[in-house]
A = this chain, B = another copy of it.
């Protein structure tokens, strides 16, 4: 069953890649251009400035790398750390687990703090470690802002508070792959040293760009970090930034114009409005779990960790979860350029599928709960569509 024709326009409700707006598709529908012509550096200059806004940084240095989120992880780690460096890293789900795996394979001394899947990162454990580390052997804290496998959002501000409280110089590296442009993220305010995202997430582009942003402290660290890197080496970018040509190797012209269009949409809606919309859709989705009819539980164990970009309901028969929660949860993603009616269509579909597989859901009950929330929590009727 490789392919079954289905009529109509489908939307993606996986946590990524996400739906691409028509405006972005249009912007990318173009021939190649010579990236050494004057037009591409001029475009890049604007993009690098604009990208800083989605990280909420003025002092950071962004790198738009032709790679995926996995490559962006590698870029963050190898440019700032040296082999054998001790890093504290948290496993709370599949994506944080994969990052820890990469950290180990890259030769770091990973001090792993694991929590039950469905819970946030154990920041009490972090505090203990920081308190005990007067020798400053911890070189970095690595944290996934939003773990899509379990729908858990970690509290970055608390990490910064702890680092400041203990006057600890560790670098603070954050995977913002499914949070940046979707959840409240404040690179400068929270003292994040490296933050990163991928184009196919809340930016609503195709896969192909890992966007990494480095604080001045991270840039400084990159000058002495001994991890081997060539393709991912920031130095090459910085050299070309100085020359004003920007690209050490060929970028995707299409993705650059697509990024321009995607940022224009985000700035037109307003970054904070985009974040508020994700919260509204997330809250609406969680209403569904509150009703008796579905009778399912959110995989996320406490309200403080609720993710506004993807929720999970514990469930017995559908085998779509990842790793420890495989076969126990399914996930509804509403990341990126998505609106109320798309989400409601998805929820109606979930209800039918639950019924298809024998789960005693009351059809319409979940949609009703979500509608009830949305209809009362809409800033303006026009924006509902």
**Which residues of A are in contact with B by a Cβ distance under 8 Å?**
1-12, 14, 16-22, 25-36, 38-39, 41-42, 66-71, 74, 102, 105-107, 198, 200, 206-208, 228, 230-233, 248-255, 265, 268-269, 274, 277, 337-346, 348-349, 351-353, 355-356, 362-372, 374-375, 380-385
Contact = CB atoms under 8 A, between A and B. Distances in A.
A147 to B, nearest CB: 16
B371 A106 contact: no
A196 to B, nearest CB: 13
Enumerate the 9 nearest inter-chain pairs by beta-carbon distance, A residue then B residue, closest first: A364-B368, A345-B345, A8-B339, A2-B42, A344-B348, A17-B32, A4-B382, A341-B345, A363-B371
Contact of A200 (B9, B32, B70): B32
A344 to B, nearest CB: 4
A45 to B, nearest CB: 9
Given A9-B342, A368-B365, A348 B349 contact: no
A372 B117 CA distance: 35
A39 B2 CA distance: 5
Contact of A268 (B5, B250, B380): B5
Contact of A105 (B230, B349, B385): B230
Counting every copy of the chain, the complex holds 4
Nearest to A248: B70
Contacts of A200: 32, 250
A19 B31 contact: yes
Given A17-B34, A208-B255, A367-B368, A346 B352 contact: no
Contacts of A349: 340-341, 344, 384-385
5 contacts: A6-B339, A18-B32, A32-B207, A69-B249, A70-B231
Given A22-B31, A68-B231, A363-B371, 14 more contacts: A2-B42, A5-B269, A5-B383, A6-B383, A12-B33, A25-B29, A32-B206, A66-B208, A70-B248, A105-B230, A344-B345, A345-B348, A364-B364, A364-B367
Contacts of A340: 8, 349, 352
Contact of A71 (B41, B102, B231, B369): B231
A202 to B, nearest CB: 11
Nearest to A25: B29
Nearest to A333: B34
Contacts of A346: 341, 345
Contact of A250 (B102, B207, B343): B207
Contacts of A368: 362-365, 367-368
A219 B221 CA distance: 36
A253 B1 contact: no
B252 A208 contact: yes
A19 B8 contact: yes
A356 B42 CA distance: 26
A369 B375 contact: no
Given A106-B228, A375-B356, A198 B250 contact: yes
